[in-house]
Structures are given as structure tokens and as C-alpha cells.
Amino acid sequence: MEFTAKKLAQTALTESVSVIVTPNAGVKNYLTQIYLTNNSLTTEGYVTIYAYGTVKSNILFPKIKIEPEGHTSLLETGETIPLLTIDESLYAKADIANNVVITVIGSEVVQV
């Protein structure tokens, strides 16, 4: 089975935990890259990313620091995070609203 990468989500983060990616019914998502970009000229940003829920035990990447006008990518080449059903989502929040943009790249596979 061949996977084609596509942008699954891109949004500015808020101070509240928000859903970033949720698979559609009958689709399995594989996340292959998560990019974070801080658009602030002067303020560092901190981002927390959750998988499969929003309680402390669901934190996937805690308090990632991003320098002003900086960016980072979070998954190594070849690493994936499977989101298996419509109930399993990727969530994120930032310490300061609208400074940090999250972009999620991955694949969608239709389940038969």
C-alpha cells in the first residue's frame, strides 16, 4: 500500500486545547510530520501537543519552546503517529494565542 503525503491541518494555535486533526469516518490517518512556526518577532512560544485525549496522560510533546521567528519539526524521518478512528485526535495549545502556527503532514487511508 502506497501513502501520499498531504497537509492534514494548518492553523494558528490558541491558549485553549483545540482539535487539530481528527480522521473522517472510514479513514485512517498517519501523521508523518508536525511543524511549529512562531510568527512573533519578539516573544518565544510554548506549545503542548496531545494525542487521543486532552488529559495530562495524553501529552505527546510537552511545552515545546519555539524562539521568536523560529520553527521546529517534531517527527523523525520515517516516524509516524497513527490516528486510527474518528474518536482518536491530535490536539494542541499554545501559551500565547495566535503566535504559533501548527502544520500537520500525513496520509489518509480509506478503510474497507
How many residues appear in the chain? 112
Q: What is the DSSP letter of 96?
A: S
| Residue 45, all three cell numbers | 512560544
Where exactly are the structural domains of the chain? 6-110
Mean pLDDT of the region 23-28: 83
6-110 folds as: Jelly Rolls (2.60.120)
pLDDT given at position 3:
64
pTM over 0.85: yes
Query: In whole angstroms, how large is the CA radius of gyration of the chain?
Result: 14
Q: What average pLDDT does the structure give for the chain?
A: 88
57-104 pLDDT per residue, tens: 999 999 999 999 999 999 876 777 777 677 789 999 999 888 999 999
Is the pLDDT score of 41 beyond 90? yes
Q: Which residues contact 112 (CB under 8 A, 6 or more apart)?
A: none
